[in-house]
Structure 1
């Protein structure tokens, strides 16, 4: 009698297990696909956003200039132009710098002049030292206290002043041992009881200014930084400078005027 053959249950179970395993793998694969798709969508969205942001025109950050920017150069060109710079130095600044440099330089002539001035100062100091010990006569203050010529006249002033022709020039001197220009005039006028300061400007301020046509010997010639007695005929009698003595000589400049003292 023939027996019927039945498939083992294990085969069915195995088949079922295999189906379950295949179904699980399919589900896992499906989940991975979904997850990967979500990530891809997110990445694509982010990339699209970045591209859109980079594509926004430069004027989008400045709404007020949006309309104008549509008709002007691109944002990149504008930035290039904005970054370009130029520096201009005014001509006055350049000229000032050049002038300052030129003025600060010391030339050989200036050095020589400075040495000559220092030598003159030293000679004046020596002259003044010897001058102080070489005169023992009456001083200006002595004459003012007891003037030898109480009756003032310009003729007499000039006559007294002539007595000192040949007296050497001494800077700061105001005695017959040595005179400077204003010290000479001060010493002569003191003998008439007239007190004057030992300065050109001070003597000029105390005098009455007159025209050259009205000037007579005994009036005072005033120049910038210098003065002397008017000697008539366009001449001056003065104590000139270091190394020279009182003398009469022509007035050498037109930059002068005449003042009258004591009247």
Structure 2
């Protein structure tokens, strides 16, 4: 059955029943109770309503410079992070990585281990002889030898120049021959004159095989030409000159006697004190020098 609103209101205020009271409380809570029990929303402090992005006119807009600054800061952070990682990597101790144990390719082979295990030691007794260390087929020229060779080369050069001058001088010789001297000089009546002084006039004349004039002498040609100037005629032969003269002892020999080699291969004029004046060989010239061997004897002419 339907009730009017007036009845309902009067019933609620005049005689509320438990059911009606509950309904009244549900419909309209008391103002006191509502004020004494604050809600969660009422506890929060009152704040201003958030402003929308469109309504915020105080914030300046982002510029290209600010964006570049923010990008630079990010790059600096990345660079510092990379640098710290690099330093940490370098600082790792060397023993942190062992390539021998990490990679089998570096491990010792069985042959290497066998060499190490089978290594031997050698002990040499103090009584063992020590071989002398020498240079095999090696010689070094000292500075003294070099200087001596240079001096010898200079002396040989000067001697060659002197021989060339003498050769030019005597090649133009047109004077008397040995036979001319013999024909114009009386034979000696006693001791020969100073044979050695005459022979020394021709020191430096070049050796010429078969020569018997100051243009060039061989050994017997020199002896023949010198003795002819003292009136003595000698053949142009070592063997014949040895046969004409008289063999004497070394103790009796004086300057001017002949020095003849025992095989008749060479002769010259004795200058005393073991020295002979002679025309030696091709390429040399008349000179005085010590007798170089014992295979000789003395012969006196006249």
TM-score band w.r.t. shorter chain: 0.3 to 0.5
Instruction: Flag the structure with higher helix content.
Output: 1
**TM-score, length-normalised on structure 2?**
0.42
Pick 1 or 2: higher relative contact order, CA cutoff 8 A, min separation 6. Answer: 1
Q: Which structure would you say has the larger Rg?
A: 2
